Structure 1
Amino acid sequence: MLRDDDLALLTRPLYAFLTVAPRGDRWPAPRPVWFEVGAGGDLEMFSLPDAPKLDRLREQPRASVVVAAPVGEPEHWVSVEGAVTLHEQGGFELAARLADRYYDMREAKNRALVEEWRTAGVVRIVLRPERVNRFSL
């Protein structure tokens, strides 16, 4: 479902904007998240266990993610929609891998934050693509 040009964008250390179903009369509110593309083409993210988005994903296990190239590059974005599963296993390992990708782990404050995630435990969010939209110049 993901094409080579999608993967070229999605394997870069960019932010994804995750949108889940809102509650009540609220509007959808995308949140920036770190992510990686799993071996099967799923998008994997993580969250602290008390995050409101996890409650909403338990109620409606569907989400969308948008990733775009930064300003200054030719326009290129990928939007992925699909079913979501939540996993207690593998969350910290994913978070630690992503911290190495997105943070300078030589900095003590970043290492301390990753250790907080280990202590708190993190949930792995897996989005299985069902629909992909894209644009590139």
Structure 2
Amino acid sequence: MFRDEDLTLLARPLYAFLTVAPRGERWPAPRPVWFEQAADGTLHLFSDPGAPKVARLREQPRASVVVAAPVGEPEHWVSVEGTVTLHDDGIELATRLADRYYDMSDPGHRQLLEEWQASGMTRIVLHPEKVNRFAA
């Protein structure tokens, strides 16, 4: 489903913009999230279990993410749509991704991670069903 250039982009510590089905009259509102791609091709993200996006995913277990190369690089993006599963073991992922996205020598970052570890996190697994892309 993914091409080699997609995998190269997805392996970088970039933000994914997660979109879930909105409630009521709201518009879809993407949120920046950390992620990693697993060997089986799924994308793994995490969130506070009480976050509205987790509640919406429990109601409608489908989502999309878009990952794009930063400004200054040739245009390249990957969009992934699919169903999601939710898991209570998100703190391991959050800890691993904190090392990828944060400078963990920063006391503020360490404190935030400790708060996450104390409260627990939900792991969101996106099972790709459709992939779109563009590369300049």
The match for 2:21 is: 21
TM-score normalised per structure 1: 0.98
Identity of aligned residues (%): 74
Partner-residue secondary structure (3-state), 1:80: strand
Shift of 1:3: 1.2
Distance in 2 between residues matched to 1:79 and 1:57, nearest whole Å: 18
Distance in 1 between residues matched to 2:57 and 2:65, nearest whole Å: 14
* Cα RMSD after superposing both structures: 0.4
Shift of 1:2: 1.1
Aligned ranges 1:1-137 → 2 under 5 Å: 1-89=1-89, 91-137=90-136
Distance in 1 between residues matched to 2:21 and 2:83, nearest whole Å: 12
Distance in 2 between residues matched to 1:120 and 1:24, nearest whole Å: 29
Distance in 2 between residues matched to 1:49 and 1:120, nearest whole Å: 9
Aligned length: 136
Shift of 1:98: 0.4
Shift of 1:85: 0.3
Shift of 1:87: 0.3
Residue by residue, what CA displacement relative to the aligned partner does 1:86-110 show, whole Å, maximum 9, x if unpaired?
0012x11100110000000001110
What letter matches 1:44 in structure 2? Answer: H
Unaligned runs of 5+ in 2: none
Partner-residue secondary structure (3-state), 1:83: strand
Shift of 1:29: 0.1
Shift of 1:14: 0.3
Partner-residue secondary structure (3-state), 2:13: coil
Distance in 1 between residues matched to 2:126 and 2:16, nearest whole Å: 12
Segments of 4+ moved more than 6 angstroms:
none
TM-score normalised per structure 2: 0.99
Partner-residue secondary structure (3-state), 1:72: coil
